[in-house]
Structure 1
């Protein structure tokens, strides 16, 4: 399996130009003014769901899906338009032009692909067993946020697809509508109206055939994401079995990104099956065959006179076994009432969206906010059956204690930054379940602490071991019922013993040498932050000597800081700086990159936990602030080998990828908080639009959206483990958050307007507050936070040392100086 980074490296030989910010802002503003198609896509939605556009991110490179799911549900029942290549990571792109079918599992906004399990496609006429060609060149689509421009690199936006012969169908875009928990479309090649809805572990389809005669369903167990169009998904241990005249069950193992995962299903239909045919390697098996095993299996279920009444299909899934899929299906969908299931899904989404009720005079702000909030609840995903069984990271079947749940789809390199901090505010009762799941994974997995776990398999995608951050954050914020003690031995072993991804060099030299390890600069910096997090686990376990050692080691960033240039940069094992060095470049050599989806400009500001000591390496806060200004104001030019998800450029700040996400908030630590206010408001205005090409990069399982949600509320967790939030520039006029224990947090932005991004003053529970930050414990206790906004900055707000956020556990004036290594 090609890793996310290796795959992106293959896309690198491109001509790259920066996107002018003024043009980008103009394009987003035009999109935000309203899009007729987008508005119609919310048809039928009521309550807060009317502000959710599930199609946000389904064009450009947002990699989202528009189908039906429940909040944090196991099933994501959605159309697939393509199953190969980077822009097919979620199975759907709005410009692909045809639909292959409807599958039951999808990833939301990732940069690597997998899943798309149990594809179902309705049809009439001859049975076609291959989907047929998409009818577009094998290239990525274009996005307004692209940091690169090349006539041959991306598909032109007006490229017309010409689908080849197969079971895929063209569809009527004007008939495609979706809202949380519901999707519908008209498949024009067969005049079939398809509707989808879901419970947590099952999906229901409703197909209304517009033409008389017989019809059939194709179930394709070979379908799934694959990296390259000419290399199909690798499937083993597939099985299909017919039960009676209304049920098909089966399963398979898939060896793609999550190599070796298990998935099983149980399907029931509302009309008797007139005839069924099983296929192996696209060859029909004898007509009396009731079960089949192999690698490449398919089935066709035939029905008589399908135009008389809608054909309903319900499918339960499980990672445990077929019996688990049947049990999930029977528990959650005992009947055939499509409307009842859809209404229950709508009510569930309304409850979750209603945890944060906001006000704004801007319709586009409301759509941005609630579309973002919706996307924060598509991962992590439920990964245990109704009886509490689940498949663990050792691929064995385990039993949960009563009342607990297991989860999957933790995009931790991304989501530790904003999504998990957001959950601690508005999903507090889910936090112990989700964090205990990470603890279980660490104990069960032969590969140690979770990095990017997906359906019982460690993908090892991305760098660091940021599950430590999520666990340490929950500990720092006082969440109970989490087995931190059980986690500590696993994370201690990783920190002090494991010979894993350059950690031996890290422990010996204090950094990863870039002549010995790929992405050595980024890995060093992220291991340093993980040391900071693991130190908190050590203290909680009573291992205080280990905690002290880890805190000291979390300052290893200094070994890669070149004081003569004020950049972090690649270093060799013998200590010399590697050449050539270009702060915009991906690295010193064509052998591999020295940075993870970033460059030296971004990596220089990756420090989240030790800002005041770090400023000393620059020569003080003023020099640090000037360098930070440069990040946003330097040229956006990038080299030809820059990966496509370095996008959404403002100078060398790249909002389309996660390493940049905290950087606009760093001005709070220099006392120039007004610059944070200006830049954060600018980013909200230019990097988000309530339309399909409305995200500056991969949505990344809720992180891109969580950044917007928190920032629109006026908050951001620069260092989640600190349990503090830095103020920004609230985009909303007001918000009310439901907190644990029935408490409420009320946020008001008095005098807020598009041309008033600056905070004049802040009050907390009616008392003036001059600090530019607030603690989680204060917010979680409930209260009223008021921002008074203005068109002109109050440069004194947050300027005093006493008013700046703490860092490394100390106030701004108490930090110790350190020297570069």
Structure 2
């Protein structure tokens, strides 16, 4: 296991602090229709997250699509994990795969570059684009819409337009009159240094209008295979192949640094279209995908279908508000929630497994990639169990297959047939267990538990042997030992539920008891979770704002003792008892928000969005605001959630407080704005907070809706006075999944002052491992 910070080696940190050349969009109430009318795609602002540290891409894709066709402005450095950053003024070209908001980089496959003039096979520098095939551009000419991207490439004077289907990219380029028009296909372009990442490649010219090929990449995912089939609407005047920038004879070439160049003479405003199918199996499958999904040269129809697909999916939630910025933030967040996981099978049902072998999915199933599980188990996957219910069994079955096929076992952070082992824990177990407890059909739980048990009970994975034997992981034996323990505690909790479901109550008892291992690292004197050494003594020196007791021994993953001390999600009641009761726990929780922000011993790029020592820009903090509900002061949750929604999400380039992380940062916004958050997803419950919108409806499938209303007399009414569920008053501020997943009506009455009695009784606290 390593974290994202280790992978990138803090490359180009200084670049991440560039001043954004933009004006902030002030959040204010504006007059508009209260309900999104017709096409809700108009509320999506794809520029959100392309600045700051959001790491999103602005290009074309469809929901959960395998192809993300987007411009690459640079391919190295932390703020270019998606290949695009808003301060850049030149574009390298357009590649077909991207990561959405991750803290590590990979993909950027199959770069196509439209040009006029001399052939250049290197991109050139951002400072001097004319050195290579880069083109200058301005954001003023960009058009960003769900399923469509367009920009004017100033240097060659070419208009670029992009759209997609699930497995194909579709390009349309409008050229000037020129006898030296051409395309460069750069198969050496990758995320990071291609000298290190590109293992091998091949390109084949087929006839006068087609190129096929593929490559093997060794990057964040240790080994990936990606193949393509590319067709042009106009026959080539000529075509050239290059290896190591030397022109080759013939129509096929194999090597490492490969390029193809196809030449044209173009008339003024002549359009040349390019269709590209991709596959992780073979170029033949890429061609099958292309023929099935993109048989015609109908660019506008493909663009329209992509937009209609987005409109259908985005319309699964409708909100009523007079604040246009809130609408844009909400629907852009929904959009980003559907950029991962990504489809990873072909139209014939074949896919490349985690064992690098070719497999076939069963009828009605799909294979997926890009599971940022350490992030997304917290809010993204719980949200899917409401508004993407039909997709949940497919996603879980895919995780089960991955566990069976992968040499690494249970998925941790799988990417296109490779396991990155990124981040702590093995939260595929958490996603599986949530689906089990919520009784999703079509999943073989005996088959799933066999893989879960192997990791949980037998394997010596990243300190698990110490965890099982000692009840903690010694800091002198494993890095990030405290965070690993917290995550393993939750994974135990998850596995116990599936163990019960398949009749392994003996395992479940062990796992539930072991999920209390956090007790072994709780220091009653300082009231922090702290690292211990092999001899059982506390690791010294200790500073709660430090990531570890020395720079060489980080004890916490992208966090410090302040955030990690509140990392217990499944046994909050037991944890409160460990503190000595609610009063002591609440004091510590209040202290978290009163501290000076920052980390004392190093610069941690992922730790952003500070409110005191609460760090909204990174996922370990995401449930913390809701812990007040467990401790009897839910009004503080309502207050803090509003603060985050008001101050840490914006309709702007720097609109996210941290990495998007494949939808988790956005999922937090969507769920919190709806007034629901799953602190403990495996418990199949949601904590309630004050909804942001006057009315929201969530289509949960089967023609049913979850309707959430907020009755307020003023925009400043942010505290819950009372709640009804299907017309019946609630004396608690949490609901069961079964109470809302088949449709329900939640009505919140809000006021300007807190109701400190509602939800305060310990008897109505959300459920916990400890009763």
Counterpart among 282, 289, 294 of residue 328 in structure 1? 289
* Corresponding residue for residue 571 of structure 1: 532
Does residue 1:81 correspond to 2:81, yes or no?
A: no
Counterpart among 689, 694, 697 of residue 733 in structure 1? 694
* Corresponding residue for residue 42 of structure 1: none
What is the 5 A alignment of 1:772-791?
A: 772-791=733-752
The verdict on how the C-alpha distance between 1:536 and 1:744 changes in structure 2, with shifts beyond 3 A counting, is: same
The verdict on how the C-alpha distance between 1:202 and 1:8 changes in structure 2, with shifts beyond 3 A counting, is: closer
Task: Report if aligned partners of 1:82, 1:91 keep a CA contact under 8 Å in 2.
Answer: yes
Does residue 1:216 correspond to 2:182, yes or no?
A: yes
* Corresponding residue for residue 422 of structure 1: 383
Task: Report if aligned partners of 2:241, 2:260 keep a CA contact under 8 Å in 1.
Answer: yes
Counterparts of 1:9 and 1:273, CA distance in 2: 43
- CA positional deviation for 1:756: 1.6
Task: Report if aligned partners of 1:12, 1:641 keep a CA contact under 8 Å in 2.
Answer: no
SS state at 2:213 partner: strand
Runs of 4+ in 1 over 4 A off after TM superposition: 11-14, 27-30
Counterparts of 2:142 and 2:741, CA distance in 1: 41
Task: Report if aligned partners of 2:563, 2:621 keep a CA contact under 8 Å in 1.
Answer: yes
* Corresponding residue for residue 204 of structure 2: 241
The verdict on how the C-alpha distance between 1:13 and 1:440 changes in structure 2, with shifts beyond 3 A counting, is: closer
SS state at 1:495 partner: helix
Does residue 1:193 correspond to 2:193, yes or no?
A: no
* Corresponding residue for residue 484 of structure 2: 523
Does residue 1:349 correspond to 2:310, yes or no?
A: yes
Counterpart among 351, 362, 366 of residue 401 in structure 1? 362
Residues 547-569 of structure 1: CA distance to partner in whole angstroms, max 9, x if unpaired? 00000000000111000110011
- CA positional deviation for 1:802: 2.6
Task: Report if aligned partners of 1:247, 1:268 keep a CA contact under 8 Å in 2.
Answer: yes
- CA positional deviation for 1:634: 1.1
What is the 5 A alignment of 1:620-699?
A: 620-699=581-660
Task: Report if aligned partners of 2:100, 2:661 keep a CA contact under 8 Å in 1.
Answer: yes
* Corresponding residue for residue 174 of structure 1: 140
Counterpart among 650, 656, 665 of residue 704 in structure 1? 665
- CA positional deviation for 1:34: 10
* Corresponding residue for residue 115 of structure 1: 107
SS state at 2:179 partner: coil
Residues 412-443 of structure 1: CA distance to partner in whole angstroms, max 9, x if unpaired? 00000000000000000000001100010011
TM-score scaled by structure 1?
0.90
Decide which moves more: 178-187 or 726-735.
726-735
Task: Report if aligned partners of 2:49, 2:56 keep a CA contact under 8 Å in 1.
Answer: yes
Does residue 1:501 correspond to 2:462, yes or no?
A: yes
Task: Report if aligned partners of 1:191, 1:211 keep a CA contact under 8 Å in 2.
Answer: no
Residues 536-586 of structure 1: CA distance to partner in whole angstroms, max 9, x if unpaired? 121122111010000000000011100011001111011001111000001
- CA positional deviation for 1:506: 0.8
Counterparts of 2:452 and 2:704, CA distance in 1: 34
Aligned residues: 761
Root mean square deviation, CA, Å: 2.0
Task: Report if aligned partners of 2:698, 2:705 keep a CA contact under 8 Å in 1.
Answer: yes
Residues 780-812 of structure 1: CA distance to partner in whole angstroms, max 9, x if unpaired? 12121011111111111111123211111x6xx
* Corresponding residue for residue 5 of structure 1: 5
Decide which moves more: 766-775 or 648-657.
766-775
Does residue 1:203 correspond to 2:179, yes or no?
A: no
* Corresponding residue for residue 220 of structure 2: 257
Counterpart among 423, 442, 445 of residue 484 in structure 1? 445
SS state at 2:620 partner: helix
Residues 654-677 of structure 1: CA distance to partner in whole angstroms, max 9, x if unpaired? 000000000000000011000000
* Corresponding residue for residue 32 of structure 1: 27
List runs of 5+ in structure 1 lacking aligned partners. Answer: 18-26, 36-44, 136-161, 816-821
The verdict on how the C-alpha distance between 1:664 and 1:753 changes in structure 2, with shifts beyond 3 A counting, is: farther
- CA positional deviation for 1:163: 3.8
Task: Report if aligned partners of 2:177, 2:269 keep a CA contact under 8 Å in 1.
Answer: no
What is the 5 A alignment of 1:55-74?
A: 55-74=47-66
The verdict on how the C-alpha distance between 1:793 and 1:28 changes in structure 2, with shifts beyond 3 A counting, is: farther
- CA positional deviation for 1:589: 1.4
Task: Report if aligned partners of 1:202, 1:333 keep a CA contact under 8 Å in 2.
Answer: yes
* Corresponding residue for residue 91 of structure 2: 99
* Corresponding residue for residue 34 of structure 2: none
The verdict on how the C-alpha distance between 1:356 and 1:28 changes in structure 2, with shifts beyond 3 A counting, is: farther
Residues 56-89 of structure 1: CA distance to partner in whole angstroms, max 9, x if unpaired? 1001110000000010000000000010111110
Task: Report if aligned partners of 1:193, 1:210 keep a CA contact under 8 Å in 2.
Answer: no
- CA positional deviation for 1:504: 1.2
The verdict on how the C-alpha distance between 1:184 and 1:13 changes in structure 2, with shifts beyond 3 A counting, is: closer
Counterparts of 1:607 and 1:749, CA distance in 2: 30
SS state at 2:137 partner: strand
Task: Report if aligned partners of 1:64, 1:107 keep a CA contact under 8 Å in 2.
Answer: yes
The verdict on how the C-alpha distance between 1:713 and 1:642 changes in structure 2, with shifts beyond 3 A counting, is: same
SS state at 1:68 partner: coil
Task: Report if aligned partners of 1:384, 1:390 keep a CA contact under 8 Å in 2.
Answer: yes
List runs of 5+ in structure 2 lacking aligned partners. Answer: 31-36
Counterparts of 2:9 and 2:203, CA distance in 1: 38
* Corresponding residue for residue 236 of structure 2: 273
- CA positional deviation for 1:594: 0.7
The verdict on how the C-alpha distance between 1:195 and 1:395 changes in structure 2, with shifts beyond 3 A counting, is: same
Task: Report if aligned partners of 1:371, 1:690 keep a CA contact under 8 Å in 2.
Answer: no
Residues 249-296 of structure 1: CA distance to partner in whole angstroms, max 9, x if unpaired? 00000000011110000000000111101000111112xx10111111
Counterparts of 1:518 and 1:500, CA distance in 2: 13
Counterparts of 1:46 and 1:114, CA distance in 2: 37
Task: Report if aligned partners of 1:28, 1:689 keep a CA contact under 8 Å in 2.
Answer: no
* Corresponding residue for residue 331 of structure 2: 370
Counterparts of 2:45 and 2:158, CA distance in 1: 24
Task: Report if aligned partners of 2:10, 2:78 keep a CA contact under 8 Å in 1.
Answer: no
SS state at 1:58 partner: coil
- CA positional deviation for 1:740: 2.4
Task: Report if aligned partners of 1:11, 1:643 keep a CA contact under 8 Å in 2.
Answer: no
